[in-house]
Each structure stands twice: as structure tokens, then as C-alpha cells.
Chains A and B, each alone.
Chain A
């Protein structure tokens, strides 16, 4: 009887551990989630209404640290930007496009320090301008996210030059 109780208790404990591990996302999953949200909020469908647009602009800012270092020469972005500036810039850029799709591929995440994640990722932006011009750009990015108040926030984004003419 004692052995039976012990076995049942062990099974319950093991099952509990498995459930906890499955349900609580790892730090890597939490970081990936931020990229998924950025992708969702930057992307734009032709049917997007003004309310959704404002909501997405507001949401984009929440993914960023109070100040984020950007090095994106293609977009003439270089320096430190506040959340508000990032939101405003994203809103301005989205307004030139009737359709926009941002996707991230091949995320490689490392944690060089506590509460810091360094991510190498391929970003692909496809879309169409309001004038009907097609856009299809792929860039490699190096991003740094810092964990503040249990949330991973973008604090650095840099475009990596893969091919140097």
C-alpha cells in the first residue's frame, strides 16, 4: 500500500513538472513571441481601417525599450529613438503602403547576459505602395532585446551588410 502511494505520488509530481515545463514558455519562446507580434503589428492588409491602424501603431511602441538604437541605412535610420518616435515612424512608413507583410525567418537567439537576448534574423518585407509599386526586400538583422518588467523589449536593431560590393 505504501509503495502504491509512493508510485502514484511520483507519477503526479512528474506529470506536474511536465505540465509546468509545457505551459510556461521558455525565454526563447518569449523572445520569439515579440518578433511574431512585431510582424503582426507592422503588417497591413488593404482592408485595414483607421481604428486598426491606430491600434497597431500604439502596439508597435510597446515592443520597444524606452530608447532603441537603430542602424537601418536603407531607411535613413541611425541613432537612438524613443518608443513614441518608433511608433510615429512606423505609422508614417505604413501610410505610404496599401499592403505590407513583414516576416521573420531563421531566428538565432543567444543570451549573452542575464536579461539580454541577441537575435540574428532574416527579415522579409513585401508589399505594395499606394501608387501600386511592388516592394520585396530581404535583410539580415542583428537585434538586442532587454528584459524589463518581465517583458522582452527591442533595444537595438541593426541591418547587417551580408554582401559588400
Chain B
């Protein structure tokens, strides 16, 4: 089981620029990210019935972090606090 934050939904475009997360070209405010990163990821659109998830802990190289889009059917719950 993975615990990830949903940052974008179906049809939205996601991108990382020098560690800043952009959704549909707008930078997302992410006060929950404790350690800055310098990730770069070219823009990609979230597919139908999918969400885009990223973890809050980003102090590792982008290739070592498990994130990306996944089917909404895989969501089984939310954190209680």
C-alpha cells in the first residue's frame, strides 16, 4: 500500500520545474513539502479515470521516487489526520 498526495486529476497537466510542481501551468503551493528538490519532469496530461499522485518526501533523485498517475479505482482510503 502506498500513501501519496493527489496533486492533479483527470485532464490536468502536470509538470516539475526545478522542484516546483505545476498543474496546468500554475505553480502549486506545497507547504507540506519539507525538503526542497530540483526535479524536472516534462508536462504530461492525466488520463481518463486517473489521478496524479506524489509523495511529500522528495529529498531523493526523481528516478528513486514512486509517483505518477494511477487509476482512481486504486484509491482505497484517506489518512485520518
Chain A residues with a Cβ under 8 A of chain B: 106, 122, 162-165
Contacts and interface: CB of A to CB of B under 8 A. Distances in A.
A165 B70 contact: no
Nearest to A122: B1
A164 B70 contact: yes
The prevalent SS among residues of B at the interface is: strand
Contacts of A163: 2, 53, 66-70
Interface residues of B, number: 11
Contacts of B41: 165
Contacts of B34: none
A162 B67 contact: no
B64 to A, nearest CB: 11
A125 to B, nearest CB: 15
Contacts of A162: 2, 70, 74
Q: Considering the complex of A and B, which 3 residue pairs feature the smallest CB-CB distances, nearest first?
A: A163-B68, A165-B68, A164-B68
19 contacts: A106-B1, A122-B1, A162-B2, A162-B70, A162-B74, A163-B2, A163-B53, A163-B66, A163-B67, A163-B68, A163-B69, A163-B70, A164-B68, A164-B69, A164-B70, A165-B41, A165-B44, A165-B67, A165-B68
Given A162-B74, A163-B68, 4 more contacts: A106-B1, A122-B1, A163-B53, A164-B70
Interface string B39-81: 0010010000000010000000000001111100010000000
A162 B70 CA distance: 6
A163 B51 CA distance: 10
Contacts of B67: 163, 165
Nearest to B62: A165
Contacts of A164: 68-70
A103 to B, nearest CB: 13
